[in-house]
Amino acid sequence: MIFLKIKNEQDKIRIKKILNNFSLSYTENEEEKYKLCIIDYNISEINKQIAKKSKVIILKKRNRHNDINESILYHKDLYTFYKDNELNEILNYLLRNYKIKKVIYKLIIIITIIIAVSISLFLFFANTKENNTSIKKEKIGKESREIDYKNENIVFLGDSITDFYNMDIYYKNLPVVNSGTSGFRTTDILEHLYDYVYIYNPTKVFLLIGTNDIAFTDITNEDLVKNIAKIISEIKKNRAHSQIYVESIYPVNRNTNNDIVDAEMVGNRKNERIQEINKEIKDLCKEKNIKYINMYDKLTDENGDLNLKYTVDGLHISDEGYKIITKVIMKYIEKEQDNL
């Protein structure tokens, strides 16, 4: 059950419709404790819900942006949205995490049973996990070598596609930081480089950004790429020893003749424009001697659209898609280790 506290009746009706689409029930009874709240921007109400250890989604209107105490917006259990598609993204993310946690709880029960049956087996897995914390073993032919990641600090920087990338699953035992934030555009990255990049002193930064610039602004291709150039320059200037990798903007799928693609979520993003921008990003990386990762071609189907196997809505990535992405990224991480 979701606690809903929105004053504007028109907003309330609109949000209730979205919740119904997700088959989520809601109430306006504030006497109970709720795991998830959707409320207007109100400092006292936000603090009250956070004190109850609830996850809070705030309706943050653009015309009140300048009045907002930005520091509170960094709380880990707090999310904000302007438009319906942004609320859709947040709910998708929270529901997916909830499902993953249910699977993890089941795994914990199974592991507990295994431990009870064989303490020696438990010790074997515990030692294996400890040994693998800083070392990854990789077979080459008949021999094996050790990759030492203890001096690494790898930051993934971007929007919701990075935000929803479960690093704990795909990069076990590797020192990775997920600095992705749902709804972020190139200008948001530029404003938050200190908090999202510099404080981690990264050895590597994987940047994926631009799809929200296309969807939510009237920015030109040239200015979008200029913003990416500024991000690269700022990271180089402030963290000169960081290796920067720029991913191509991912493809989308606009074909709604299936049960997967959500036309509202995909919005006005078009692969033709994405490919034009990616060409400019590739040229930029060559000019700045930055590694460009062509992830676009790894994710398309025979028609050049985002493969339906790799997406949950035509824009965001499925588990199968993240497996493909991880396989590509790991080649760059391991290649750099080979050169040490």
pLDDT band with cut points at 50, 70 and 90 for residue 139: very low
Residues 160 and 303 in one domain: yes
> Is residue 97's pLDDT more than 60?
yes
pLDDT computed for residue 135 by the predictor: 44
**Tens digit of each residue's pLDDT (9 = 90 or more) over 226-270:** 999 999 999 999 999 999 999 999 999 999 999 999 999 999 999
Specify the pLDDT at position 102.
67
Tell me: do 162 and 284 sit in the same domain.
yes
CATH number of the domain that residue 63 is part of: 3.40.50
Same domain, 135 and 217: no
Question: Do 89 and 198 belong to one domain?
Answer: no
Q: pTM for the whole thing?
A: 0.59
| 188 and 330 housed in the same domain | yes
Q: Taking 50 as the threshold, does the pLDDT of residue 175 lie above it?
A: yes
What CATH number is attached to the domain comprising 223? 3.40.50.1110
pLDDT classification of 101: cutoffs 50, 70, 90: low
Asked if pLDDT for residue 134 goes beyond 50, the answer is: no
Claim to verify: residue 170 and residue 319 sit in the same structural domain = yes
pLDDT tops 60 at residue 138? no
Given 59, 74, 93, which residue is the final one in a domain? 93
Same domain, 195 and 332: yes
Residues 51 and 189 both lie in one domain: no
pLDDT at residue 147 tops 60: no
- Please check whether residues 225 and 163 belong to one and the same domain: yes
* pLDDT confidence band for 63 (50 / 70 / 90): very low
Domain extent at residue 65? 2-93
Answer yes or no: do 62 and 160 share one domain: no
Domain stops at, among 72, 93, 114: 93
Same domain, 112 and 155: no
Same domain membership, residue 311 and residue 201? yes
- Domain total for the chain? 3
SS3 letters across the chain: CEEEECCCHHHHHHHHHHHHHCCCCEECCCCCCCCEEEEECCHHHHHHHHHCCCEEEEECCHHHHHHCCHHHHHCCCEEEECCHHHHHHHHHHHHHHHHHHHHHHHHHHHHHHHHHHCHHHHHHHHHHHHHCCCEEEEEECCEEEEEECCCCCEEEEECHHHHCCCHHHHCCCCCEEEEECCCCCHHHHHHCHHHHCHHHCCCEEEEECCHHHHHHCCCCHHHHHHHHHHHHHHHHHHCCCCEEEEECCCCCCCCCCCCCCCHHHHCCCCHHHHHHHHHHHHHHHHHHCCEEECCHHHCECCCCCECHHHECCCCCECHHHHHHHHHHHHHHHHHHHHCC
